[in-house]
Amino acid sequence: MKLALKVTEVETLSPLVKRFRFEDPTGAELPVFSGGAHITVEMPEGDIIRRNSYSLISDPYDGSAYEIAVRREDQGRGGSLYMHTKVSEGDEITVSTPSNLFQLDLRARKHVLIGGGIGITPFLSQLKQLDMEQKPYELHYAARTRDEAAGLKLLPEAAHIHVHISDEGARMDIGAILDGQPLGTHVYTCGPEGLIEAVADQAARLNWPETAVHSEAFTAPPPGEPFDVVVKSTGQSITVKADQSLLEALEEAKVKVEYSCRGGACGRCQTKVTTCDGRILHNDHWLSEDERGAQQDIMPCMSRFKGTRLELDL
């Protein structure tokens, strides 16, 4: 479902990060949501519509507005640049209803939230939910420099909120954070791949159950070299441009593919590959190692192709 909203605030949080606030133009209440949820924002440019998903950072039980924080990726496909350069207060903007691939497990006795860089965003709504639910938690926010740490302006000052700035010699010590946590603690990580792996490794070393370790890595699709794709049912050949995802190219060619997160995490757009003369560049977090190796499935929202012929069962 889609919502036609209005941009009511744009704030620069750091040289690279802006905060956006969206409200219903008639003042109607928006659907409330759960901590860790995201929305997909439509960015129309000429004939094409780019869609990126962003974590909601506002109060999940407050229907008066949705807020997101967007980091400018100069090497990206242009979605974040669009948000930074083309969107201003008063503009109309179309977003999806919230959905959640990174929800809190409310069974936990305690929640440990670890955010690196822009990966702080999903925790901003989660900590509001944890406050309202009166659940014990601690949050760790790691950034390289204080200047880069856009999240500082959005975090409350509290004893259980810890900021680790590596340039100031306060590098985050994951082992120290996880060691000695009470039984029944769940840990959630969002940020660079390396951080997610480091937390998972450390948790495994400390014998945490796998089901108590959660992460969200979904990011915008990476650009790459252009390639061609063939639609099996029609024989149509479509070129995927360097700054376009395969999903976006299919949509531009009016080929219908189901999607939700557009970040390789939800599994919704999984598509069968009928011919693959070459190598699929899997960039998703959905397919297993075996599935990646088999090259019989692709996640068009994230993944690309290098080779002579890629044909999809569409």
**Residues 184 and 106: beta-carbon distance below 8 Å:** no
Q: At its nearest, how many Å lie between other proteins and the CB of residue 266? A: 7
Q: CA dist 80 to 3, 39, 146, 263, 275, Å?
A: 20, 14, 22, 14, 33
Contact code string over 116-145 relative to other proteins, x by CB under 8 A: -------------x--xx------------
Part of the chain binding other proteins (CB under 8 A), chosen from 85-93, 237-245, 263-271, 288-296: 263-271
Binding residues for other proteins restricted to 15-34, rule: CB under 8 A: 31-34
Contact code string over 59-98 relative to other proteins, x by CB under 8 A: -xx----------------------------------xxx
**Residues 211 and 195: beta-carbon distance below 8 Å:** no
Q: At its nearest, how many Å lie between other proteins and the CB of residue 10? A: 26
Binding residues for other proteins restricted to 149-208, rule: CB under 8 A: none
Q: Which is nearer to other proteins, 93 or 266 (CB)?
A: 266
**Rounded distance, CA 206 to CA 180, Å?**
9
User: Which tokens hold the place of 257?
Assistant: 């593919």
User: Which tokens hold the place of 266?
Assistant: 């939800």
**Residues 263 and 41: beta-carbon distance below 8 Å:** no
Q: Which is nearer to other proteins, 243 or 291 (CB)?
A: 291
Q: At its nearest, how many Å lie between other proteins and the CB of residue 93? A: 18
**Rounded distance, CA 188 to CA 173, Å?**
15
End-to-end CA separation in angstroms for the chain:
23
Interface residues with other proteins (CB under 8 A)?
A: 1, 31-34, 37, 60-61, 96-100, 103, 105-107, 129, 132-133, 211, 260, 266-268
